[in-house]
Structure 1
Amino acid sequence: MTPRTERPTMTNAHLQDLANQAADAIRSLNHATQNAKGELNYPSDAYTLVASLAQLTQRLPQSFEQISRFLGALAKTGAVTADHGAPDDHLAEARSGLASAVLIAQTLTDRLDRAHSALGPLGYDIGSE
């Protein structure tokens, strides 16, 4: 008999920490890309950065879809309450918002891919300094 491997459980705090870390990383990136910081020097810097941001947006839909599936399963249990209105209405609205977020993230990825492609042929002319 094969021993059963326990999967680590992810607590709500762990999930929140991961989301907060992602938000903090974007905040730090926003500060680092300010003109005064001087961290963007060459077209290749933008090229690499846009590629990484496209990768980030490409991964977001999976999270949104998984949260939506969780909410759908939760709705089936009938164990959800709401401070006002019908819980099913709130769950449906949340799932609708997440479905829209999936489409927006996919569109954002497409636009970032276009920007990345446009940046590909660019170089820096050291003679212009």
Structure 2
Amino acid sequence: MPRPSRSLSKAADQVRQFNHDTIATGDGWQYPPNAYDAIGSLAYLVRMLPQAIEQTMHPVERTHQDGRVTVDGGGDPARAVAVLHAAIADAANLARDLSVAVDRMHSAASPLGLDTRGLLEFDEDGEG
């Protein structure tokens, strides 16, 4: 049986790897088009976050409807589920705002290019 939380763990590991890979500039991470491509992928990821956040509520809702949610320390399950629901709604709304901001980043990076004059790696005859 699939474990959805494992999928998110793998995604987080990939973001961590991106953070590590981009600490310094180097091959494949040195020019504006590299940033544009990365921002596009980040925008795609961020656009999916609201749904992912909201769907984390599904197993809690199902269990609560069945009367099987418990709370450490004997707390009120209905209250705890309501608090979680509100927090999830807030997080999903903030993720939507983040998505708009990252889409703006992508648009802002779109016209940026690279002046390749004098860069040997872009000189067709290799003579600068």
- What's the TM-score once normalised by structure 1's chain length? 0.81
Higher helix share goes to which structure? 1
- The aligned residue for residue 111 of structure 2 is 121
- Give the aligned residue type for 1:116: H
Quote the offset at 1:128 in angstroms: 7.0
Identity %: 34
Query: Which of these residues, 93, 96, 101, is aligned with residue 111 of structure 1?
Result: 101
Instruction: Give unmatched runs, 5+ long, in structure 2.
Output: 120-128
Preserved contact between residue 47 and residue 99 of structure 2 (Cα < 8 Å): yes
Query: What does 1:7-46 correspond to in 2, within 5 Å?
Result: 9-10=1-2, 14-35=3-24, 39-46=28-35
| 1:101 matches 2:91 | yes
Identify if the C-alpha distance between structure 1 residues 31 and 37 changes in structure 2 by more than 3 Å, giving closer, same or farther: farther
Query: What does 1:33-112 correspond to in 2, within 5 Å?
Result: 33-35=22-24, 39-84=28-73, 85-112=75-102
In structure 2, what is the Cα distance between the partners aligned to 1:37 and 1:98?
39
Quote the offset at 1:24 in angstroms: 0.3
Per-residue deviation, residues 65-111 of structure 1 (Å, max 9, x unmatched): 22224323322221111112212222111111111111111111100
Identify if the C-alpha distance between structure 1 residues 16 and 112 changes in structure 2 by more than 3 Å, giving closer, same or farther: same
Preserved contact between residue 50 and residue 95 of structure 2 (Cα < 8 Å): yes
Preserved contact between residue 60 and residue 69 of structure 2 (Cα < 8 Å): no
In structure 2, what is the Cα distance between the partners aligned to 1:110 and 1:93?
26
Aligned length: 118
- Give the aligned residue type for 1:107: D
Q: CA RMSD in A?
A: 1.8
